[in-house]
Homo-oligomer: A and B are copies of this chain.
Amino acid sequence: MKLLKVDTLEASLDKLEAAMKAGGKGIPETEYVPVIASLGRTAAEDVLCGENIPGFDRSTMDGYAVIARDTQGAGESMPTFLDLAGEVEMGQSPKFELSSGQCAYVPTGGMLPHGADAVAMVEYCQPFGTDKVAVYSPLSSGHNMVHAGDDVRCGEVLVRRGRRIRSSDMGLLSAAGKTEIKVYKPWKIYIISTGDEIVPPEKMPLPGQVRDVNSAGLLGEALACGFNVAGLEVVWDSQDVLTDKVGSAMKECDVVVISGGSSQGKKDATAAVIDSLTSSGAFTHGLAVKPGKPTILGFDEPTESAVIGIPGHPVAALLLFRLIVGEIWKRLTGMAEIEKEIAVDAVMASNIAASPGRKTFQLVTLDYEHADTETGLPQVVPVFGKSGLIRTMSAADGYVVMDVNDEGLCRGERVKVHLLVR
């Protein structure tokens, strides 16, 4: 029996990153897409703002543009009377300036005339005749207005490299006149499920057979990461067929993922296939991770493709896809540096044991209804299920991580829950 060469998760990611960088795959390719088609894409450069936003002093209220010091001492019983110098039309540059003692009507979003430095809300003003306005409230400079450049100043960064574009970024880019954005091209992923016991989902399995869970699950995971999926395929445990399929997928794709067939069972061919097809040979023969020990990594320089063998059991497969393929994308695109992982503080509702010597990922749900009485934090309820049970992952809100040297987590202990929101 060949002994597995087991890496930590971090070491395996370091090796994969190094191999991809050495093999010309250090940074994904880029392309320009319209901003309106950029939701969820990964920005490939820092986008700088070429101008001030807004480009002019702008009212945030319907009211009267004034010179603030003219309103000193104004009050409900003692208004300041100002001469109405004109009316600002939306979207137009006022043709007049304000001098002391004057005001001008300005709508929300309208441009302040030169000289004005505050806006009196219409509710605090009273027109007298056609040319005078009483202002019943004192204003300080800058009140009810934004200055040119208050939103973004010329030269500031709108969106950082590695940013996963959100709807608000699409708005911000539009505000700055950007209609296209340089983004990373999503990797093309090929997903292969192996195992003699696997039948396609539409088939009724015979005794001893199970339906293919990982094709659909990994497809979903890949799409959620923003990748393109070039193909899904079930390959039974013949090493020759697997070699053929993986070999052709490598020519076409950036990453080939093979689930199943990576434990020490008799028919397991994945390790041999990855070893033979990659120029580096398999450089990780197992991870000190639970679930997910039988994980095999290789990278092939001629085809510039990574080949990732992940466990057949569905929870491990989905989790490892995220922890390896998702994570390496984040590292190479800069997302890892700028994206904050939002973790929920919570309190263990029961004890759970770690797996000695392995980084343990435990699926959990968050119970907000029965919050911890002392801290008010949600309780963490482990979702237990024996190996291979996909329902646990569907039921989970997230996971907690126990490190290699942790023995486990105790009831009442504070933990961070990493969310499985997508």
Interface residues of A (CB under 8 A from B): 35-36, 39-40, 53-56, 58, 60, 62, 88-94, 107-111, 122, 145-146, 150-152, 158-159, 165-179, 195-198, 201-221, 223-224, 232, 237, 263-267, 312, 314-315, 318, 340, 342-345, 366, 368, 375-378, 385-391, 393-394, 396-397, 414, 419-422
Contact = CB atoms under 8 A, between A and B. Distances in A.
B345 A393 contact: no
* Copies of this subunit: 2
B237 A386 contact: no
Contact of A152 (B91, B107, B391, B420): B391
Contacts of A211: 174-177
A107 B265 contact: yes
Given A62-B263, A108-B263, A197-B109, A170 B342 contact: no
A187 to B, nearest CB: 16
A108 B419 CA distance: 30
A315 B312 CA distance: 45
Contact of A179 (B110, B198, B201, B388): B201
Contacts of A389: 146, 150-151
B54 A217 contact: no
A177 B204 contact: yes
B318 A109 contact: no
A197 B151 contact: no
A385 B88 CA distance: 24
Contact of A167 (B40, B62, B224): B224
Contact of A177 (B54, B202, B224, B314): B202
Contact of A377 (B93, B146, B264, B345): B345
Contacts of A56: 207-208
- Interface SS, A side: loop
A58, A217, A414 interface centre (most CB from chain B within 10 Å): A217
A202, A220, A375 interface centre (most CB from chain B within 10 Å): A220
Contact of A166 (B173, B202, B220, B376): B220
Nearest to A294: B108
A207 B177 CA distance: 15
Given A36-B216, A40-B422, A89-B196, 7 more contacts: A39-B223, A54-B210, A110-B197, A168-B220, A170-B219, A172-B393, A177-B202
A31 B151 CA distance: 43
A217 B171 contact: yes
A152, A216, A265, A318 interface centre (most CB from chain B within 10 Å): A216
A62 to B, nearest CB: 5
Contacts of A36: 215-216, 219-220, 232
Nearest to A322: B167
Contacts of A109: 195, 197, 210, 312, 388
A398 to B, nearest CB: 8
Given A168-B393, A202-B179, A386 B150 contact: yes
